[in-house]
Amino acid sequence: AGMCPVTERMHHHELLCYETCAHDVDADGARVLGEAIRKVHAGRAELAARAGEITGKGA
């Protein structure tokens, strides 16, 4: 483990970052991004199960 294992775990496995300054997002783009994030969040259990199938690790 590194010097800050909690931060490293979050960075690699738990945290979703979006660099807002790197993109020119209008209101419609923000709406679409929000919908996409909600869709992934709603399907997180299925995604975790499928990730476990692919990697051979439990979710």
Task: Give the start-to-end residue ranges of the domains of the chain.
Answer: 25-59
4 or 58: whose pLDDT is higher? 4
Residue range 9-44, pLDDT digits in tens: 998 888 888 887 888 889 999 999 999 999 999 999
CA–CA separation, 20 and 40 (whole Å)? 19
Check residue 7 and give its pLDDT: 93
What is the value of pTM for the model shown?
A: 0.61
Tokens of 29: 């783009």
Q: State the pLDDT at residue 58.
A: 62
Residues 59, 48: contact at Cβ < 8 Å? Answer: yes
What is the rounded (10 degree) CA torsion for 19, 40, 36, 42?
Answer: -130
pLDDT value, residue 41 = 93
